[in-house]
Structure 1
Amino acid sequence: MTAWDTPSDGKRDVLACMRQSVRMNTTGDRNGGSAMLLRVGELAKRTGLTVRTLHHYDAIGLLNPSARSQAGYRLYNNEDIARLHGIQGLRDLGLPLSDIGRQLTVNGATLPEIISRQLAALDREISRATDVRSRLTMLQQRLTVGTQPETDDWLAALQLMTTHGKYFTSDELKVISERWQEMTADWQPLIKELHDAMKEDIPADASVAQMLARRWMNLSMRWMQDDFALLTRWKEMCENEPAAYGNSGIDAESFQYIGNAVALRVAAFQKYLDPLQIKRLNKNLDEKWDALEQAARNIMRQGLAADSEVVRRLAVRWDDLVDETADHDPVIREKLLIAIENEPLIRSGSHLSADVREFIGGAVAFSGNRQSA
């Protein structure tokens, strides 16, 4: 079976049955075993081998029958059949007949050892067949959309599947692919804005690029379901494999651009928070922060004073969001606020615009002064 043969359900069932059959053979004769003797023709019929094969095994001394009938027919007993199973098992593992004889005679390979090796080989084949089937299923879903794919489409999809297979299992790719489809509406506008920033030659440390970096980081973690190790492997694949991007809208140049912006942002956070603390920052609060920005702008347009009840509630919302962002950890919260205060680059890519931050900061300060009075 080649890497691109279709591992049908039927073949998987056969493999599973073979595996179960081999397991059953390890239990021996439950009735205590009988001195059953089989003639060569019957043994060939019951094992699926040919009489000629059994004659050949006898001729080269690999499997000599334990007895002969009065008429000279070869007769095989239980021990002969067990040895035959060992021979076929080692053949299935790829050993030539000459080596099989030495394994059984000189090295003393026992039937349980051979069966264990067969089971391991079958496990690998079942696993590989399952993996290939999963990959082909994803290929089918990707390409069969009511029309017959063109040759270039097949080749591109096969190349992409091979590339991804170097870094991820089929189960991981299934989840990654499904999550990407679910989040397409979030990714598409971000990728478009990324390309627009590149066309305008916006530097990686500029506010626009840093806002893109913040959104990219948050969306990537949501995509990988907060699995940082999975995200790291994806990053490595994109850096090393030109074919990794597929038709995502991202290419090596745009990936490098956003990667530079993200690296600057991460470096700024790392001055204050360790990797585990950065990982714990809540990446799923974009909508809440955007709603806070909008609410603050509405209040600012109304010209409400910092001591009004509406402004006070706004300050409480900001305080709650900071706490939620910090995973309700007071240590992380304090470090996060210090980082925002000291790092212009972090502030430039934050959810809140500069004037809103200043307005909310005044409201928070007033609320704090009033509480301490």
Structure 2
Amino acid sequence: MLKVGELARQTGLTVRSLHHYDQIGLVTPSARSAAGYRLYAPADVRRLQSVQALRDLGFGLARIAEMLAQPVPEGAPLQQIEAQLREVDAAIARSRQVREQLSLLLQTVALDEAASAEAAPWQRLLELLPAFSAHFSARELRSMLRRWQQLCAQWQPLIAEVEALRRAGAAADAPQLQRLAQQWMDQSMRLTRGNLALALRWARMHEQAPETARHQGIAPATLQYIGRAIALRMEALRRHLDAEQLMRLDAGLSARWQQWAARAQSLLDQGAEVRQPAARHLLAQWQALLARMAGQDPQLQAAIVRAYASEPLLQHGHPVTPEMRALVQRIGDAGNDTGA
């Protein structure tokens, strides 16, 4: 039989903890000495070891009492272990998220050491973290903010042009605003590396939490204004592509389309013959880009061509002009005429 002090030394617990276990009926000594001291039998010590082991696994005292109850309720240990495992999994997921957020803050501090006089950028980010975290994981957010920092200089003049048109009262379907809407979409695709679903989540976050847009220098009124113009472009696309097809589009090819358009314009300016090798090469590049944009899906390729050919609004701001599309058609027809 061990006195409470001896048991405390053997187990590394405090006398206060052993007294508490006794008070709640978790580990009760089998006997007391003539002087009233608690005396623990070997069975008590084994029960205490079980309690310690379960505590180390994260179980609360109430659950431990249920698991060690005599008689044990049918299925109780299994249910408690499964419940504890779920809690541990949730704690691990939360810990990973916290780690990602700390990593995000660390990166922000490292990148923004030259903070403004008002509030350091990492402090502003800390205030916005709940809004950001509602839409993105810390890993996604870290990547997006890094990309934003790289592209910020390109966004600023675009934001200024959109704001100028808003103040001038240009309609949502005005060609000059639609040109900027296409540029805005292209920039968003660069930001998300061509991931349309991610770009839509970014836009939805700005819409639902305007403070995140202000953090990036975009006034809510400007965002709503360009949003209406972009919505018209998306409506035009949806008249020809369903939601699943839209999500499959590789929308990160704007730079490649611009390069192709520059070559096409050069051929138009030169008045090149449609049967020349340069023209055939231009057609092959067109077909390769279109196939990549559609994920090698011929049906989706046809829908894209149909959309841009029949929706004048989509043609505003797109690097490929109607003249270039007509040139592609003539090159293709010439190849068919010669049996190519």
Report the TM-score, using the length of structure 2 for normalisation.
0.77
Which amino acid in structure 1 is aligned with residue 106 of structure 2? Q
Correspondence 1:162-173 to 2 at 5 A: 162-173=130-141
**Are 2:208 and 1:243 aligned?**
no
Q: CA separation of 1:328/1:148 partners in 2, compared to 1, >3 Å: closer, same or farther?
A: closer
Provide the identity percentage. Answer: 32
Match of 2:269, as an amino acid?
R
Superposition RMSD on alpha carbons, in Å? Answer: 3.8
Name the counterpart of 2:285: 317
**Alignment partners' CA distance in 1, 2:189 and 2:266:** 31
- Give the Å deviation of 1:161: 0.9
Would you say the 8 A contact 1:58–1:65 is kept in 2?
A: yes
Q: 2:240 aligns with which of 272, 276, 297?
A: 272
1:287 paired to 2:263: no
CA distance in 2, matches of 1:308, 1:44: 94
Question: Which letter maps to 2:40?
Answer: L
- How far 1:135 moved relative to its partner? 1.5
Which residue in 1 is equivalent to 2:18? Answer: 54
**Gaps (5+ residues) in structure 2?**
none
Matches of 2:68 and 2:136, distance apart in 1: 40
Structure 2 residue corresponding to 1:140, chosen from 106, 111, 116 = 106
CA distance in 1, matches of 2:197, 2:61: 37
Structure 1 counterpart of 2:48, from 76, 81, 84: 81
Partners of 2:230 and 2:257 lie apart in 1 by 20
Contact 1:143 1:149 in 2 (8 A): no
- Cα gap change, 1:39 to 1:287, in 2 (>3 Å): same
Please give the per-residue CA displacement for 1:175-214, whole angstroms capped at 9, x wherever unaligned: 3333434544654554444344434443322333333333
Unaligned runs of 5+ in 1: 1-36
- Structure 1 distance, partners of 2:66, 2:288, is 75
Alignment of 1:1-373 (within 5 A): 38-59=2-23, 61-67=25-31, 74-77=39-42, 78-82=45-49, 84-85=51-52, 93=60, 105=69, 108=72, 117-144=83-110, 145-147=112-114, 152-153=119-120, 155-184=123-152, 187-188=155-156, 190-225=158-193, 227-371=195-339
Of 270-279 and 188-197, more deviation after overlay is shown by 188-197
Q: Distance in 2 between matches of 1:346 and 1:294?
A: 19
Measure, in 1, the Cα distance between the counterparts of 2:223 and 2:61.
Answer: 45
Partners of 1:318 and 1:100 in 2: CA distance? 69
Retained in 2: the 8 A contact 1:205–1:264?
yes
TM-score with structure 1 setting the length: 0.72
